Homo-oligomer: A and B are copies of this chain.
Amino acid sequence: MEFSQWALAARQDIEAVLRRALEMRAPAVRRRGDQRLHEAMAYGVLGGGKRIRALLTVAAGEAASANRQDCIQVGAAIECIHAFSLVHDDMPCMDDDALRRGQPTVHVKFGQAQALLVGDALQTLGFELLTTLSVPAEQAVNLVRVMARATGLQGMAGGQAVDIEAVGQAMSQDALQEMHALKTGALISAAVEMGGLCGSISEQERQALGRFAARVGLGFQVADDVLDVSADAQTLGKTPGKDAAAGKPTFVALLGLAGAQDYARGLHQSAIAELAAFGPRADRLRELAQALLGRTH
């Protein structure tokens, strides 16, 4: 199967899990407030998106010979976490973005109070989705732990806190990488690790997957910075050049456009090298790395 077909099928299955999860939780009575929250959650989590994190989970699950439906559901859980972070990130007190994937952001369409609750309830839904898998209960507990670490103070939320205090500040490359390792890298790494946890792999393979994920996560951010200055709004689905204009430190500002492109290429190659021992089981991971990091070179 072509990669694009594989990705399309996985994306459809992930979205089917999300749609069903929301349908099952639809308020039974006609009550304005939670019906509107329900609608806004669907808008926030089902409004397109490339489902990169969930695809990483499904692809890592293939490398670990995991049950596909479990990986799809774990991927859907991670997409809930990702969507919650976008909804909160877009709010006026954070990045104040009016557009996301070319559409009005949740707070623009539903108001700030609902947007706050949408993010809160999507995080919750992510954890709830990890409680109805077919994996052994010990593995389900591990999945909750890994996702929680990647989401909270020691992961995404911590990285966002560094980010909001970094606006207008000079930042070394090391500091910038640390920030991204938390802000976006932690959840990307968790996505790969959780795919592995759904199946069975050796400790050595687990570590190789971890290094792969760290490189892909960082490379993805470098590629994002490159595209932020080189792509137009239509391709990007958001306002280009916004990070630079907001005085946020970027890899392009630190390394120049060509330097950042080179850096992304190097990360891409070293990520692929980590997958050698997996053989063809890791083909989807290789194709995903190409799709994510090959965009800039």
Chain A residues at the B interface, C-beta cutoff of 8 Å:
25, 27, 29, 31-34, 36-38, 41, 84-85, 88, 91, 93-94, 111-117, 119-121, 123-125, 127-128, 130-132, 136-138, 140-142, 144-145, 148-149, 151-154, 157-166, 175, 178-179, 182
Contacts and interface: CB of A to CB of B under 8 A. Distances in A.
Contacts of A27: 153-154, 158
Given A25-B153, A153-B125, A130 B113 contact: no
A120 to B, nearest CB: 5
B127 A33 contact: no
Contacts of A138: 137
29 contacts: A25-B153, A25-B154, A31-B162, A31-B175, A32-B165, A33-B160, A33-B165, A34-B153, A34-B161, A37-B153, A41-B153, A91-B93, A94-B113, A94-B116, A116-B116, A120-B123, A120-B151, A120-B152, A121-B157, A124-B151, A125-B153, A128-B148, A131-B142, A136-B137, A137-B137, A137-B141, A140-B141, A141-B141, A141-B144
A34 B162 contact: yes
Nearest to A84: B120
A112 B93 CA distance: 6
B33 A161 contact: yes
Quickly give the copy total for this chain.
2
A31, A88, A142: which has the most chain B beta carbons within 10 Å? Answer: A31
B37 A161 contact: yes
B157 A128 contact: no
A34 B155 CA distance: 10
A165 B36 contact: yes
B127 A144 contact: yes
A135 B66 CA distance: 26
A165 B30 CA distance: 13
Contacts of A41: 153
B120 A88 contact: yes
- Return the 4 tightest CB-CB contacts between A and B, nearest first: A33-B162, A124-B152, A93-B112, A137-B137
Given A34-B182, A144-B130, A159-B34, A119 B121 contact: no
A241 B138 CA distance: 49
Nearest to A89: B116
Nearest to A94: B113
